Structure 1
C-alpha cells in the first residue's frame, strides 16, 4: 500500500479480488461457513519466524483470514492471545458458552454472518441449547429466551451499538440475576472483542456457503 500527504492509502489493483460466483449465505446460520478475502493473504512460502509467532498456532496459516492478518504479525499475536483468553480460559468467571453467546449477539447486531455462525455454533456445542441459540440468529437481539440470556444478549447489544449505551442498568440487571463482577467482565469482554473483530472481518472479505462445486471459484481482479 502507498500513501501520499492528505490522501487515503491506495491498494495495488492486483491485490484486490472479487468473487462474482460466490455462494453467499442468505441468512444467519449455525452451519460451518467458508470465508474469502478481498485482499491477498500472505503466501505461506513468505512466512518468516515473526509471522509464525504472530499466528500463535501454525495451523492457522492455512486459513485465509489469519494468513491475511499475518501481514501484521505483532498485531495478530495480540489479537489471537486475547481471543484465546476470553473464549478458552475457563478458570472462573462466566461459563464459556455464555461468552460465546455474547459474541454471537454482537455479531448478530453487526451483521457479521461468519462470526455469528462460529460463536452460535460454539454456544450450542457447549450449552446444548441449539433451539435457543438459533432463536437469537432468527429473531435478532430482541428475542425472548429466559431472564439470564435475555439480559446477557441485551448487554451485548448495548455495547455493540455504542459503548455509551451500556451502563449501570445493565450491570444491575445482570447482578440481580446472580452474575458476579467477574462474570459480567467476561460478558463485556466477549461482546466488546467481537464488536471490534466483526468490523475488521467485514472490511476484509466475505463468507461463503461450504463449496459444493467441482470447478474452482473464479475470482476477478
Structure 2
C-alpha cells in the first residue's frame, strides 16, 4: 500500500494506517465505547480513534476540544475554520488532515479550485484577500507562533473578521498543530 510520501497532497478521501496496535473493539470497555461514541460518528471503525482511545480520558478531552473548536456555533464561519485547518495541515505536511478539511471547506464554501491550488501549489498560491489573510496568519502561527503580531490581526480585521472570529481561526490553527503531529507520528495516510 503506497504511503502519502509517494503521492503528496490530494483532495481525495484518504485512509489512515496506525503504526502501533489499535484497540480491538470486541475487547473495549464500556467507557472506551462511550468515548468513541462521543468522539466521532465513525470512531468505532477508525484506526486513529481506536489507537487514541487506549488513553480514553485523553481522547475524551481531545474530542471535546476538537468538536468545540471546529463545530461551535460562535465566531468564525465553519469555512474559515476549515481553511485555517487546511493551511496548517499543508504547512505541517499532513496529507490526511489537509484532504479532510479541504473537502469540508469545499462543502461549506464551494470553492474546489482554491483548495486544489492550495494542496497542489502550497500556501502561497493566489487567492482572494480574505482567504489570503487567513492562510498567511495560519502559516505564521504554524511556523513560528511568536512571530504573529498586531499587524497580522489588523490584516484580518481589515478583511472584516472581528475578534471572536480571529480567536476561532487561532484555535483552529492551534488544534491542527496538535492534530497533525498526532496523525504523523502515530501512523500515515494511505490511499483507500
Under a length normalisation based on structure 1, what TM-score does the superposition of the two structures give? 0.82
Moved over 6 A (4+): none
Unaligned runs of 5+ in 2: none
1:52 Cα deviation from its structure 2 partner: 2.0
Which position in structure 2 is the counterpart of 1:153?
Answer: 135
Listed one character per residue, the Cα deviations across residues 14-70 of structure 1 (whole Å, up to 9, x for unaligned) are xxxxxxxx2224121110001100001011122112212322147412110000000
Q: Does 1:108 align with 2:90?
A: yes
Which position in structure 2 is the counterpart of 1:23?
Answer: 2
Kept in 2, the 8 Å contact 1:53–1:77? The answer is no
Larger radius of gyration: 1
Q: 1:59 to 1:209 in 2, by over 3 A?
A: closer
Listed one character per residue, the Cα deviations across residues 60-92 of structure 1 (whole Å, up to 9, x for unaligned) are 121100000001010101111111112212x23
Which position in structure 2 is the counterpart of 1:19?
Answer: none
- Please give the root-mean-square deviation of Cα atoms over the aligned residues, in Å: 1.2
Secondary structure of 1:36's counterpart equals strand
Which position in structure 2 is the counterpart of 1:73?
Answer: 56
Which position in structure 1 is the counterpart of 2:30?
Answer: 49
Residue correspondences, number: 188
- Name the CA distance, whole Å, in 1 between partners of 2:171 and 2:117: 23
1:176 Cα deviation from its structure 2 partner: 1.2
Secondary structure of 1:35's counterpart equals strand
Under a length normalisation based on structure 2, what TM-score does the superposition of the two structures give? 0.94
1:171 Cα deviation from its structure 2 partner: 0.6
Kept in 2, the 8 Å contact 1:53–1:73? The answer is no
